[in-house]
Structures are given as structure tokens and as C-alpha cells.
A and B are shown apart, each in its own frame.
Chain A
């Protein structure tokens, strides 16, 4: 009988803890957000405590950050009506032990193998961008695409979106202050292949492009220099001549690819990375660099 009492008590504690009401505090919000408590709709206020039976309405473009049980912070970015009951999983705290974290850290450090020398690790040595970023909008374009030199081949002009938009406008201008684009299209993808706009480009000229959530504007414009074949050949020849006397074809292709990427001839650099990887498929560095390049620039 005593055992049953104990079991009943233990079960009651478990059930009580499962049924426990989570409390949510509004940590911050941006845009149009409203809360519904006891069927009464009101505006949110930072620091206000809501219980699980409340619900929140987040409009498009709005952001709401809640903190559950004064502990777990999470953000709702997607527009919609949400009952706070459905966020109980977000209240869970994953607090691992110091010992486990230390063991993991020591293992990671002992099994890591450095970053490689400059010139061999694109990721490590090309991420330092010497430019500022301006304006806040829903589109992010990689600063590495600030200026692209282009002569031939294919390469995607890509962007990322902070919003849940499904459609994006792409604009191509022939001068930096133009208001009317020479080409405009709407796409569901977050990239445009450069070959698809070639018919609007004239060799030797500079063009400007941007993308925006459909119906919105983006002041951040990027540059494409459609260089002449001769200008490109000059760069290529310089790179070829700057190599060591005895250099294999794959090694040369890899070195040229690196140089072209540095010179922002991305479409051409990709061709050379491919060439190096194809010539020596067993060299891990060539293959991994090419894969990494594809990933960085969203080449499909």
C-alpha cells in the first residue's frame, strides 16, 4: 500500500509539472504586433507577462521576441496568429554540464588542424571585406558581390531575404543614379544567372544591379563591370606569368582561379577551380575549394 501511495505521489508530481503554466514576457517587438488576452485585444508592451492561454498576432514584417519562464528567449518573425500554448517546447532549456562541454572543447581543439596558409584557404582569407554596409532592408547581398568583373561564363547574382517573401524584383541599371532600370524582372528564386541578362549588357561598360522584396525598394546597388575580352586576357596573362617556372597544369589552374577570384572575376574563377579539380580529382584541396566556392556563391 505504501508503495502505491509513493507511486501515486510521484505520478501526481510529474503530471503537475507537465501541466505547469509557462509564463511569457515580451522582451522586444518591432512592427505591428497585438496580443489577445481573455478575448481582449491590446497593444504589446515590453516587460508585460502573458500566460499560455494568451495569443499573439504578428503582422508581415513585424518581429516579436518573447522570453519564457524568464529563461528561454525566442523570436517570432513569421506573420500569423499564434497561441502561446504552442510554444511550450521553446521553454525548454538545454543546459549542458561544464565537464561535458570541457571534454568536447578539449577534443575539438586536439582534433582541429589549423586554417592553412594564406592563398590556400579561400574561406579564411577572403572574408575580410574592406567596405561598410548601409541601409536596413529585407534583402542582404553578400558584400563580396559589391563589384563583379565579368568577361565570360555563367555566375549567379544572388541575395538573401530576411522576410518570408516569395517573390523578388531584380533591377539592372546602366548608371548609378538612374531611376529607370534597363531591365527588370520578378523571380521566385533568390538569384539571377548573369547569362540571362547578357543581352542587356555591352562589353566594356559598367552596370548596376539590385534586388528587393517584390513591391519594395532597395537602395543598395552593386556593380558589374562587363570587361572587354582584351582586358580580361591581360589579367589572365599576368596571373599565368606570375607562377613558378615548373608548375603543373592543375596547380596553375588552381592558382589562377584564386587570383581571378581575388580580382573578382568570379565566373571565370569558377571555371578554373573546376579545371583544377577535374585535372587532379584526387587532390582534396582542389575539390573542397571548388565545393566551397559553389556553396559561397550559391552556384547550383
Chain B
């Protein structure tokens, strides 16, 4: 007579459970797991020379984050709605005179806050500069762009205010503090003034815009007191309303598209071969290796603003939680591997490789779900390294345990079968 299905499932479940837990509380399992972490610590702490300078995998994956796959391959944000609080006005090739006209026009249509994502650090043509200064003076809700320049050698970076900034204007730095070729994943809402620590911190462009648009959201951001925020990208370029500056001046834009909104004046180019002011983002089709930048800086600012206005921040799990998770998972894997190592050694390597693959797929999925659904970033690199190293450490630990057994009569499960 055949067993009912639920009994089959219960049998297999028990079987797997036994394989994982039989050696779980053995001293050897715990010590072998500890050795994995000792080994990782040694590699980290010992002043070994950098062995990776010529390693193509290490170089290619330097800027790699599993969560990028959720954007680039798993279509996160596809189907999400347009952000109706923000309109991006494409400044195309406008000079200062044209920009002044755009600011005035945008203001006349009732924008609540205008952000001008253009760095202007010095005087240019006097007539055009006068028009720009006049436009800035008239529009009190305008936020100008300033920036940091990298310091020479070991010197601190230098803050360069906007040429048109004064006591009555608002401004914020437009830098993303990432490497120039790296994916923009983080954002610094505030940067402390290191030269004059008593004065106010510098505010980023997006921070100042939020401050003007929604003071409550700004206070919430300030209260978080995070010097670095992970950007929660929620929209691709076409998920913001983008208006051509020329169309705006020609009256081809409905006032309802601007009124009461944040109008971001910046450069947009949808041609993938034009990379002016484009940065790498997690939306990039190539999430590892060489590729071309994919998103204009102004759209990144827009994403940051959307995140702050929605209060949908990403919280990174603390280091102790990451380590604890890696320890637990490493321990379970070690118990499972030791079971096969001792009792079904012929299958050990095959099972270990399959288990590593399944674990990698599963934990990457878990990380993505946490990131995508709960906005929690769990760094799984350590966990995956532990799973990979566990197999090799068993061999080392076996030799160590057998030696201890011979020398000090150390009780171990490894002393009977030596591989």
C-alpha cells in the first residue's frame, strides 16, 4: 500500500532535518564554524599585501551589489506611478540668459520650489549674469547648486559656493560622494563643516529642496541623523514628468504640470550614447563589469527627493546582526557538511556544491526580498563567504582535530575516519 503524500513529505522533511541537526551541537561543528571566522578575521587583520590588484574578478566586482539585480533584471519599479510632486524641466543647451528665462517662466506657473541643477562658479558674460542675478533675486524659492572640489593630495575637499549665492539665496551641494566610475547608491544629506565645526553643516541640493517643500519631511530626515543614506530608487527617468525647456518657454506646457510642485531644472538626454552628466545607477542593465552610465544626475536628485518626501528610507542592518546571521547560517551549513563528510563521504563534494549553489540562490533572494519589500539592507557577502569556506575548513579542521586527539586525547567525531 502506498504512503499518503503528507507522510512522504514528513518523511523527507525528517530526513533533511536529521542531516542538518545530527551534528549541530557537536563541539567539532561549533569549533569548525569558529575556525571559518578565525580564518576570515586573519585575512582581514593580518597586514598581508594586496593580492587582488591583478585579480580580474575582484576588480570587476568591486562595485557589485546583489540588490542591483532587483532593479536591473527583476524590474523593480516597473509599473510604479509617476511622482506627481516633481516635474523635471530639461535645460537642454540653455545658457545663463536662457536659464534665467526658464526660472522666471517656471515661477510664473506657480512652482512651489525650483531647483537649478547647474553649477555656476564664476562670472561669465555681464549681461547674461545680470539677468540670472535678477531671476535669482525675484525667486525666493529657488535652490542653487554648489559643489565640493576634491582637495589636492591629502588636503580636505574644498566647498565652492554658487557664484550667485548670497545670504538671501538657498543652495545645496550636488556631489554624490561615490567614486566617479561607481554606481551611485548612497547620498550624504549633510556634510559637517570641518574647517569651522561650530557653523552649520553643508546641505545637499536635495536636502535643501525638501526643506523648502516639506519642512516636516526635512525634520524627519534631520532626526535620523544619518551621515550616509542609501538611496531608495523608486523611479526610472520616464517615471517623472519631463518637460522640454523650449516647450515651456513656448507655452506648450500646462500650468497644472508645474503649479505647487517641485520643478527641477536640469539636463536630461535620453540618448544612451550621450553620457553628459550621466551616472551609474542600480538601474544599469549591466550590474557587474563594464558598461556606460545610465541616468542623468537630475533624475538621481529626483529619486532622493521622492524617497525623503515618502519617508521610505532604506535601513541597513548593523554589523552585529550581519555577523550573527552569518554565524547562524555558517553553523547550520557546517553541521550539514560534517554529516555528509563523515557518513556519506562519497557524495560529500557533490552535495556540498549543490548545497552551496542552492544556499547562494536562496540567500540572495532573501536579501532582495528584505531590500525590496521591507527596505532593509542585509549585507550577505559575509554569509556567502562563510558558506563557501566551510567546505575547505572541514579538511583543515579534521587534521587539527586528529592532531589534538593524538596529542591531548581530544574527543572528536573525526578521529575514526580520516579522509
Residues on A facing B (Cβ under 8 Å): 25-28, 43-49, 67, 69-71, 73, 93-96, 98-99, 101-102, 105-106
**Interface: B387 (CB within 8 A):** no
Assembled-state Cα–Cα distance A47/B110 (Å): 14
Assembled-state Cα–Cα distance A45/B254 (Å): 5
- Decide: A70 and B81 in contact? CB cutoff 8 A: yes
Assembled-state Cα–Cα distance A56/B80 (Å): 26
Known: A46-B247, A71-B81, A102-B365. A96 touches B256 (CB 8 A): no
**Interface: B186 (CB within 8 A):** no
- Decide: B82 and A70 in contact? CB cutoff 8 A: yes
Beyond A98-B369, A106-B361, 18 additional contacts (C-beta under 8 Å) are A25-B241, A28-B242, A28-B244, A45-B252, A46-B244, A46-B252, A47-B87, A47-B241, A47-B255, A47-B257, A67-B82, A70-B82, A70-B84, A95-B79, A99-B365, A101-B74, A101-B75, A105-B69
Question: Chain B, 242-262, contact with A by CB distance < 8 Å: what is the 0/1 string?
Answer: 111001000111111110000
Q: Which residues of B contact A27 (CB under 8 A)?
A: 241
Q: Which residues of A contact B258 (CB under 8 A)?
A: 47
Assembled-state Cα–Cα distance A70/B244 (Å): 19
Question: Chain B, 82-107, contact with A by CB distance < 8 Å: what is the 0/1 string?
Answer: 10100100000000000000000000
Assembled-state Cα–Cα distance A49/B372 (Å): 32
- Count B-side interface residues using an 8 Å CB cutoff: 33
Question: Chain B, 366-385, contact with A by CB distance < 8 Å: what is the 0/1 string?
Answer: 00110011000000000000
Q: Which residues of A contact B251 (CB under 8 A)?
A: 45
- Decide: B78 and A49 in contact? CB cutoff 8 A: no
**Interface: B18 (CB within 8 A):** no
Assembled-state Cα–Cα distance A300/B258 (Å): 52
Q: Which residues of A contact B373 (CB under 8 A)?
A: 98
Contact count A vs B, C-beta below 8 Å? 69
Q: Which residues of A contact B244 (CB under 8 A)?
A: 28, 46
Q: Which residues of B contact A98 (CB under 8 A)?
A: 70, 74, 76, 368-369, 372-373
Q: Which residues of B contact A94 (CB under 8 A)?
A: 79
- Decide: A101 and B73 in contact? CB cutoff 8 A: yes
* In the complex, chain B residues 244-292 whose Cβ is within 8 Å of any chain A Cβ: 244, 247, 251-258
Shortest CB-to-CB span from B83 to chain A, Å, is 9
Shortest CB-to-CB span from B293 to chain A, Å, is 19
Could you write out 15 A-B pairs with CB less than 8 Å apart?
A28-B244, A45-B253, A46-B252, A47-B257, A48-B257, A70-B82, A71-B79, A71-B80, A95-B79, A96-B75, A98-B70, A99-B365, A101-B74, A102-B74, A105-B74
Shortest CB-to-CB span from A224 to chain B, Å, is 27
Q: Which residues of A contact B243 (CB under 8 A)?
A: 46-47
**Interface: B238 (CB within 8 A):** yes
Known: A70-B82, A98-B372, A99-B365. A48 touches B254 (CB 8 A): yes
Q: Which residues of A contact B254 (CB under 8 A)?
A: 26, 45-49
Shortest CB-to-CB span from A52 to chain B, Å, is 18
- Closest 9 pairs between A and B when the two form their complex, measured CB to CB: A47-B257, A95-B79, A45-B254, A48-B254, A101-B74, A47-B254, A70-B82, A93-B79, A70-B81
Q: Which residues of B contact A70 (CB under 8 A)?
A: 81-82, 84
Of the listed residues A25, A26, A102, the one surrounded by the most CB atoms of chain B closer than 10 A to its CB is: A102
Shortest CB-to-CB span from B364 to chain A, Å, is 8
Q: Which residues of A contact B84 (CB under 8 A)?
A: 70
- Decide: B78 and A95 in contact? CB cutoff 8 A: yes
When the two chains form the complex, which single residue of A46, A73, A102 contacts B257, counting CB atoms closer than 8 Å?
Answer: A46
- Decide: A48 and B82 in contact? CB cutoff 8 A: no
Assembled-state Cα–Cα distance A56/B254 (Å): 16
Q: Which residues of A contact B242 (CB under 8 A)?
A: 28
- Decide: A71 and B82 in contact? CB cutoff 8 A: yes
When the two chains form the complex, which single residue of B73, B80, B256 contacts A105, counting CB atoms closer than 8 Å?
Answer: B73
Shortest CB-to-CB span from B249 to chain A, Å, is 12
Q: Which residue of B lies closest to A95 (CB)?
A: B79
Shortest CB-to-CB span from B236 to chain A, Å, is 10
